[in-house]
Amino acid sequence: MVLLVARNHGEFPIYVLAAAAGSTIGVFFLDLVCRKGGEEGLKRLVKPRLHNYLKRQMERHAAIALIVSCLAPPPFPFGATIAVASALQYPRPRLLTVVFLARVGRFLLVAWSAIYFGRHILRIARSPGFLWFMGGFIAFCVIGSIASVAQWIRRGK
């Protein structure tokens, strides 16, 4: 999204809405799985310490916990927060609304940054060093994914 906005400032509302909608669709699918699994299924996805912390936060301030997780950059446990909210039966329409609006806010900040720093971002993105780095990073991700799937298959047998 950053490169798209940096190249074409006028289309940023479309990019922001598309990114927020895509994120919300992903949350919907995660919600379907976690809501069905409930707390028992959640214990398999989230470490006990993180599960207990997020459960306390959801019981006290669910909307605030969701908004913070939607706005915070990685490595904040966005997926874990959504999983806990769904497993604890947080109302789906409210969950999707909060996620969509918070993600719109986050992606608006990203778009603003891309507009403000766009020239610099494009110059870096076109540099040979960045292209080599991204090629290496993509290769690392592919190799890591293959290793994870192989380990998952071995463990399943």
Mean pLDDT of 5-34: 92
78 and 141 co-located in one domain: no
Chain Cα centroid distance, residue 137 = 19
Q: How many C-beta atoms lie closer than 10 Å to residue 28's C-beta?
A: 15
114 lies in the same domain as 133: no
Do 40 and 105 belong to one domain? yes
Residues 99 and 145 in one domain: no
pLDDT tens digit sequence for 51-105:
788 778 778 888 898 999 899 887 788 888 888 888 888 999 999 999 999 999 9
The tally of domains found in the chain comes to 2
CA 22 to chain centre: 10
- Domain of 142 in residue numbering reads as 127-157
Residues 132 and 109 in one domain: no
Query: Quick one: tokens of 150?
Result: 């192989």
Average pLDDT, the chain: 87
Residues 31/82, Cβ–Cβ less than 8 Å? yes
